[in-house]
Structure 1
């Protein structure tokens, strides 16, 4: 859910606390005080803008959601996501989401649609789902989810946030993010509090990966001290006549030291993790006191990429779908429609992922791997009510193949690194000579013509050269093997897709 923020762990400002605002009413105090990540989306403002009208966002919204390409429900008004992540190991401790939707909802249909079981937590109707998530009806139009689905933890979350006081000690950095969304009115806010995440030693070690970018004159001691005081990072998107994006990194000290290197360093980190938005290349950097800023226009594709990082549970909006009553569909059309929609959703995700490396200028296996896992989870979260069992098995197989491709790509670097570490290629040294010619007359006479010469390479230097040469061969071998594995997986995906398409067309006598 928060991978965009996690890519920037090296960066982020102490700000004063603010009081709750009327926007996102009833949502802020549902966030546990130990949260360190936050996303807020004012969908009404976002899709009601002139740029949304010009780019036909609303017309494409339902189709993109149905296909699983976006996690934002087509009738969502306000969305809040929060969580706590273990930055050291990159693992989620807990995540929660709140969505206010148009009209009333009833979570009782979620249980049937997703194979969950009904429950009651703190006097509220709830559903425990097989994907380790609870869906809770907080009010008629406000639904929430919490994962992991530990009943005790979810009950305590509800009980504690029912009685939270106005002076609860939230992260000052996330409180400021609330302010951007509620007072300033920024339609999209993604914020992460990273204060005290990395030690100076860890930061200096990470900077070594960017030595060439930083240059020989980099003041590493001063830069390490500045980054040690990083407070948080925030991405904001505003919409009016056009979309404008801004990334702010807040420090404890003066950010002037990164005025020149901040942009290329940030871009390098994003590219390394496969989360780069091409628009950022054209954004303008600025420093204001303890804050480093990047700001510029955001294209339609850039906005799509921002939204694609969200892993909003579809169950929050799927409660709108009413289960068919027995005998209400004697022709079985609901099953056929559900099958066609599921098949189209999976195949759309397949084609979108197939083109993503080229479209997003992905350059490494590591950059591509993160998207395979994300698309696998999109398939996992597609609606399953009335969907043909054979199609569900097909979808599960495709998700597994995506994950296999992810592991194959991630394994390239690890295998190459292990082989290079044990590569003890050596050489005893060598020499070579090039003869000229000399001609003389008499004893001890002088000669003329070019003098011959001999050059030698010692054993130590020769071994280093040989290791470098064989290390390069190892890296190329692992990349080739990884690419071949991924290609085989894509061939299997295409074969399974063709097979299930034929089977479903024959079964339902309808085009798939």
Structure 2
């Protein structure tokens, strides 16, 4: 899990409709999770792949490629996946994150290390593997495997011991246990939840509300709103799939939030936009506000689901390289390198293509948030398995990720330059100012530091002041995009060159 995902979950959650009860699929799996998690994600791949939409769009056929590229979080052969994390909400970083998978085939730790590198191990009597990406994999049962990041052997051993020491253990908090109910009793195939009880103070939220454009000019009592929002219990995202994809946002509170019924939707959408987690179709979703709940419901496009998944860090796959290749592939050392290199290159291509789509979707967002996406995709490229990959292709990938980080720097610089120019505007004195539109660290209501603008000598014309700010924003953002777009063009040229070179070298199409 990552900072962006946490920011997304802090605002985004699902309205779930009633469905017939079904046999519990996750009850046993969740007993294998570590304790003290405040974030939970559940994926019922059996349900998903059996839907009319999955069949009509042939999701199964592209499953391995999307997983290998980092665009799909669920490894092939997984029937059910449960992921949990203990997040530092203030810093938006995980202390740890873990996953447990119910697999269609028995996992082999030797196969895992052959695919990803690393070494086999035994932890508290269980087969295990430690991987180069600082992850432990543990075999809990014939068809159950778990992962733990970071690869702290002592912590992993304590986790394993706790799983086998107590039968019927319940490691989840009451709020996350409710999310399990949506997956099992209501048969919702994708559920994400974050327990936020006692996380946010009213004082902290009150400062953030002053920055929200969606609240400007409204008659909402911000003090009462801050008090109500601080009673948040948690957030749950649920996604249902039939011949289409539907989902929603449900935020649960102990306090009365009915006072925000007129501003709930714009406030949520603005917060999502501030995180770079905005999905276009959310604009058309319907909102309802009751005493203790905000509910936002509507339709998803496949691209929107892909955008949600792109924020996740996937568990390692359990398949060998031979299982992801066609039956006629040769098994010689050169052919193994060719096959691994080809798959690696296609994964890079998918990521670059998805990032370009992300740019087209979100160029109306802030420079700081664009920087976040460049950093995220650079990290995805760095995380791709490199075992058996041609060293020259690995060097190319390193250069691509470095170029994306240059784009990140360009967009962050645009935000910083915007803030610097605004603070130096004639007649304005600025203290403790964090430029909300440009800083990647701005996280709307539920995150980031306090930020405000103080003018010792107010300008005569606020309209003039606003026009000047808008001009500065446009100029610096344009410079940032110009640099980033030039870098993406250079990546396109380099991609063509390495594709031609590898095709000639291995005599297969890259």
TM-score bin (small chain): 0.7 to 0.9
> 134-143 or 74-83, which moves further after superposition?
134-143
> 258-267 or 355-364, which moves further after superposition?
355-364
Please name the residue that 1:497 is paired with: 495
The 1:205–1:311 alpha-carbon spacing in structure 2 relative to 1, beyond 3 Å, is same
Please name the residue that 2:443 is paired with: none
Please name the residue that 1:435 is paired with: none
Please name the residue that 1:218 is paired with: 220
Deviation at 1:465, TM superposition (A): 9.0
Gaps of 5+ in 1: 14-20, 428-458
Alignment of 1:136-285 (within 5 A): 136-164=138-166, 166=168, 170-213=172-215, 215-285=217-287
In the aligned structure 2, how far is the partner of 1:460 from the partner of 1:11?
37
Contact conserved, 1:36 with 1:174, CA < 8 A, in 2? yes
In the aligned structure 2, how far is the partner of 1:460 from the partner of 1:48?
62
Please name the residue that 1:7 is paired with: 8
Contact conserved, 1:338 with 1:386, CA < 8 A, in 2? yes
Alignment of 1:54-453 (within 5 A): 54-164=56-166, 166=168, 170-213=172-215, 215-313=217-315, 315-318=316-319, 321=322, 329-330=331-332, 332-359=334-361, 362-421=364-423, 423=424, 425=426
Gaps of 5+ in 2: 15-22, 429-456
- Partner of 2:206, secondary structure, is helix
- Partner of 2:133, secondary structure, is coil
CA deviations on 1:245-298 (whole Å, 9 max, x unpaired) are: 021000112332222211111111112222112222222112344111111222
Please name the residue that 1:436 is paired with: none
Contact conserved, 1:67 with 1:345, CA < 8 A, in 2? yes
Contact conserved, 2:351 with 2:377, CA < 8 A, in 1? yes
Contact conserved, 1:343 with 1:391, CA < 8 A, in 2? yes
CA deviations on 1:391-415 (whole Å, 9 max, x unpaired) are: 1121122122223322332332234
In the aligned structure 2, how far is the partner of 1:470 from the partner of 1:246?
38
In the aligned structure 2, how far is the partner of 1:331 from the partner of 1:155?
36
Contact conserved, 1:12 with 1:231, CA < 8 A, in 2? no
The 1:11–1:300 alpha-carbon spacing in structure 2 relative to 1, beyond 3 Å, is closer
Taking only aligned residues, the RMSD between alpha carbons, in angstroms, comes to 3.0
Deviation at 1:490, TM superposition (A): 1.8
The 1:321–1:149 alpha-carbon spacing in structure 2 relative to 1, beyond 3 Å, is farther
Alignment of 1:445-484 (within 5 A): 461=459, 475-484=473-482
Contact conserved, 1:107 with 1:319, CA < 8 A, in 2? no
Deviation at 1:204, TM superposition (A): 0.8
- Partner of 2:389, secondary structure, is coil
Deviation at 1:152, TM superposition (A): 1.4
Contact conserved, 1:97 with 1:144, CA < 8 A, in 2? yes
Contact conserved, 2:71 with 2:306, CA < 8 A, in 1? no
> 356-365 or 141-150, which moves further after superposition?
356-365
Contact conserved, 1:106 with 1:140, CA < 8 A, in 2? no
Contact conserved, 1:258 with 1:292, CA < 8 A, in 2? no
Contact conserved, 1:108 with 1:118, CA < 8 A, in 2? yes
In the aligned structure 2, how far is the partner of 1:77 from the partner of 1:123?
25
Contact conserved, 1:285 with 1:295, CA < 8 A, in 2? yes
The 1:220–1:189 alpha-carbon spacing in structure 2 relative to 1, beyond 3 Å, is same
Contact conserved, 2:81 with 2:102, CA < 8 A, in 1? yes
Deviation at 1:126, TM superposition (A): 1.6
Give the aligned length. Answer: 469
In the aligned structure 1, how far is the partner of 2:422 from the partner of 2:291?
45
Please name the residue that 1:487 is paired with: 485
Give the TM-score of the pair, scaled to structure 1.
Answer: 0.83
Give the TM-score of the pair, scaled to structure 2.
Answer: 0.83
Among candidates 46, 49, 60, match of residue 48 of structure 2: 46
In the aligned structure 2, how far is the partner of 1:310 from the partner of 1:124?
27
In the aligned structure 2, how far is the partner of 1:357 from the partner of 1:41?
28
The 1:384–1:460 alpha-carbon spacing in structure 2 relative to 1, beyond 3 Å, is closer
- Partner of 1:316, secondary structure, is coil
Contact conserved, 1:98 with 1:144, CA < 8 A, in 2? yes
In the aligned structure 2, how far is the partner of 1:104 from the partner of 1:244?
33
In the aligned structure 2, how far is the partner of 1:333 from the partner of 1:178?
45
The 1:464–1:260 alpha-carbon spacing in structure 2 relative to 1, beyond 3 Å, is closer
Please name the residue that 1:507 is paired with: 505
Q: Over alpha carbons, which structure has the higher Rg?
A: 1
Contact conserved, 2:117 with 2:131, CA < 8 A, in 1? yes
- Partner of 1:270, secondary structure, is helix
Higher relative contact order (CA 8 A, sep 6+): 2
Deviation at 1:506, TM superposition (A): 3.1
Deviation at 1:57, TM superposition (A): 2.6
The 1:404–1:121 alpha-carbon spacing in structure 2 relative to 1, beyond 3 Å, is farther
CA deviations on 1:113-160 (whole Å, 9 max, x unpaired) are: 322122211112222122111122222322211111111111122122
- Partner of 2:73, secondary structure, is coil
